[in-house]
Chain A
Amino acid sequence: QQQVKQSPQSLIVQKGGISIINCAYENTAFDYFPWYQQFPGKGPALLIAIRPDVSEKKEGRFTISFNKSAKQFSLHIMDSQPGDSATYFCAASWEGVSGNTGKLIFGQGTTLQVKP
């Protein structure tokens, strides 16, 4: 029940195309859903995040779509660029008695390659 399932495992997109990565969860206590971006040899870095009180959040070319009833959320990268080539992780965490626990459960990751 603590798992976050991510798909696809890998994705190849042409420059200018749309990249879509999907995640699903079971635990309804999750209330914070971030996406992290990781380049080779680097640590993950927060890309964008959403809470369940909204269905969509957009920051530049990156959009999270959130479906609370289906317990699914997805990352859309518009106008994908070669510089977006990286591994993307969805994650989820939940509120504890003294605020967000900060304990992130990560999906398995998606390796995105954007071809020029």
Chain B
Amino acid sequence: DAGVIQSPRHEVTEMGQEVTLRCKPISGHNSLFWYRQTMMRGLELLIYFNNNVPIDDSGMPEDRFSAKMPNASFSTLKIQPSEPRDSAVYFCASLYRGTDTQYFGPGTRLTVL
């Protein structure tokens, strides 16, 4: 199994630019989670989907952040416009509902200059 796949692994952009992070969950998993990790705030859940439907987006910091899951094998997290305070590592995780274990991807390190 390839595990959760995220791309890109590193992204450096300038303030004001649009950033799109991508995630491919483990095949057969039907829940998907987006997290953000910073030194100050630790690991924060941004949004999660069940069966491609957004269930809870209360962790999304601002309207500049949006997430989609057009099908069971792909999700995007978009930041538009990006700001320096968005610099963080963004993780995607997936889970098979009825089980407890979330499997995390390797993360995308985002730097906004």
Residues of chain A at the chain B interface (Cβ within 8 Å): 32, 34, 36, 41-46, 49, 89, 93, 99-100, 102-109
Given A43-B104, A44-B91, 20 other A-B contacts at CB below 8 A? A34-B100, A34-B101, A42-B107, A43-B91, A43-B107, A44-B104, A45-B104, A49-B100, A89-B42, A89-B43, A102-B33, A102-B102, A103-B33, A103-B45, A104-B33, A104-B102, A106-B44, A108-B42, A109-B42, A109-B43
**Is B54 engaged at the interface, CB distance under 8 Å to the other chain?**
no
Q: Mark B70-111, 1 if CB is under 8 A from A, else 0.
A: 000000000000000000000101010110111111110000
Majority secondary structure of chain B interface residues (helix, strand, loop or mixed): strand
| Contacting residue for B106 out of A32, A42, A99, A100, CB 8 A | A42
- Contact (Cβ within 8 A) A106 B33: no
- Contact (Cβ within 8 A) B107 A102: no
Chain B residues within an 8 Å CB radius of A107: 42
Chain B residues within an 8 Å CB radius of A104: 33, 45, 102
**Is B18 engaged at the interface, CB distance under 8 Å to the other chain?**
no
Q: Report 15 cross-chain contacts, Cβ distance below 8 Å, ordered by A residue.
A: A34-B100, A34-B101, A41-B106, A43-B4, A43-B91, A43-B93, A44-B104, A45-B104, A46-B101, A46-B103, A49-B101, A102-B31, A102-B48, A104-B45, A109-B42
- Contact (Cβ within 8 A) B56 A103: yes
Chain A residues within an 8 Å CB radius of B4: 43
* B-side interface residues, number (CB < 8 Å): 22
Majority secondary structure of chain A interface residues (helix, strand, loop or mixed): strand
| Contacting residue for B97 out of A34, A99, A103, CB 8 A | A99
Chain B residue nearest in CB terms to A91 = B43
Q: With A and B bound together, what is the CA distance between A49 and B100 in angstroms?
A: 9
Chain B residues within an 8 Å CB radius of A103: 33, 45, 48, 56
- Contact (Cβ within 8 A) B100 A32: yes
Chain B residues within an 8 Å CB radius of A42: 106-107
Chain A residues within an 8 Å CB radius of B33: 102-104
